[in-house]
A and B are shown apart, each in its own frame.
Chain A
Amino acid sequence: MKTVPYFTLSLMLMASAVLAYEVGQTCFSKQATTPLLATADREAAKVGTVEWGKPLKVLAEQGRWLHVTDGDTKGWVYAGNVSSVKPPAENKNDFLPTTAADTTAAVAARPLSESSKKYASRKSLGEAAADVEWAEKQADAVTRAQVNTYMQEKGLGDYGK
């Protein structure tokens, strides 16, 4: 019987050693929208969403998950989706389209910009520019779905506990 509280205590200590959030501490959403979930599980029902930069009060920790409240709704967020410090306002620009053709900053695969290509040309760095473009193609070939599969296999991100 006596081992239960010690076990619970050591789990809590381990969790706090990993994430270093304290109950009552404020954290901030760093995704465009962060889901608040009913339980600490990525498949759990969504009970709400919070926008980028929204302050959230930490109520409890469980592994890499945080139980939080935005003042109105309580729910679980994955710790990687929040920051212990308020994100700078300029980060919000990443969610905005940079050209009329883009829907968001991240959607389109962006090749080396014209100004960078001209820079490479002025500096006679055509070979290096070609290498960068090769690297860009290799990187862009790794899709979000493939990253999801990798993370699932390794128990990373919100696929883990």
Chain B
Amino acid sequence: MKTAVALHALLLTLFIGSAHAQFGLDVDPFKLASGATKIAKGSSGVGLKEEMSIGGSVAVEIVAMEGGVWKDEAATRRVNLIGKSLARYSDRPTLQFRFAILNTDIVNGFSAPGGYVFITKGAYLAAENDDQLAAILAHEICHVTRRHALRIISRSEFISGVTDVAAGSSGDFAAYDMGVDKVTNTMLKTGYDSGSEFDADRMGRELATNTGFARNGLVTFLQKLQTLKLDNKSIFSTHPDLSERIEKLGGTASTTAKSSSSNEESGSALLKKSSR
């Protein structure tokens, strides 16, 4: 069967090539070959080299918009030890993941294609142990392995412009820049759709558990955040509501919803803690 398919493909290629040469048909066999490569790139339509280029640019935007990188070597080493342990058992175990801390007091996590994972200083300091840190990092790793950001680009009109520039075969920077902007805007302003977030929660929990971290790390961390009573903009603002996430993971959410900024005492305690 495979032989028959290969033979048909060969004959088709020969026919098209011949037709192109002899009859001037507007069918370029090399474009067809290019199309075949695109299929090999998978459903996102983005190859690894292009993914890493896009990811690097998105990472630069995240860092620029979220206060720069917190240059604490010990803390950065700790998140890389935990993160790389998780990455080893992720669905993309050979992808070169890098973990860093953003110098902002808000509590959040971000990731970019190609393996860039960021946790904020606020989240790093709020986490009580490695299990909770692992839970946050595993969630972000799963956004990368599930290609949630890449699919935003692949569904957009900028896809060919982005991948061509990323591959070094085009100088159409406008399309590339718009594609990067689209992903960055989703990550930092609107957030992924809730389906992608709950998917990352569920898969992240599996990843953390399979790596040997506590299964309830994310639930206990989210429950702790509920007690901090920070304003909505300071806690996972680009993620679904804490209570909904906890309940979907089978935990018990606090009956007190995320409060407004009126409760400054608890919030300022965390900010003070994170300003060390």
| A and B associate | yes
Interface residues of A (CB under 8 A from B): 18-19, 30-32, 64, 78-81, 83-84, 87-91, 93-96, 98-99, 104-106, 109-110, 112-120, 122-123, 125, 127-129, 131-132, 134-136, 138-142, 144, 146-147, 150-151, 154-157, 159-160
Q: Is the CB of A134 within 8 A of B89?
A: no
Residue among A19, A91, A104, A118 making CB contact with B91, cutoff 8 Å = A91
Contact A132 B176 (CB under 8 A): no
Q: Which of A94, A142, A160 contacts B95 (CB 8 A)?
A: A94
* Tally of contact residues, B, Cβ under 8 A: 58
CB distance from B96 to the nearest CB of A (A): 5
Q: In the complex the two chains form, is B85's CB within 8 Å of A119's CB?
A: no
Footprint of A on B, CB under 8 Å?
Answer: 40-44, 47-49, 52-53, 55-57, 59-61, 63-64, 68-69, 71, 73, 76-77, 80-81, 84-85, 88-89, 91-100, 116, 130, 145, 147, 165-166, 168, 173, 176-177, 180, 206, 209-213, 215
Tell me which residues across on chain B come within 8 A of A79, comparing CB atoms: 210
Closest to A104 in B: B94
Report whether B94 and A94 are in contact in the complex, using a CB–CB cutoff of 8 Å.
yes
Give me 24 A-to-B residue pairs in the complex whose CB atoms sit less than 8 angstroms apart, sorted by A's number: A18-B209, A30-B91, A30-B93, A80-B88, A80-B89, A81-B89, A84-B206, A94-B94, A104-B94, A110-B96, A114-B168, A115-B166, A116-B53, A119-B176, A123-B177, A128-B60, A131-B71, A132-B116, A135-B69, A135-B100, A154-B130, A156-B212, A157-B88, A157-B212
* Known contacts A91-B91, A157-B85: A115-B168 contact under CB 8 Å: yes
Residues of B within 8 A of A83 (CB): 91
The CA-CA distance from A139 to B75 in the complex, in Å, is 11
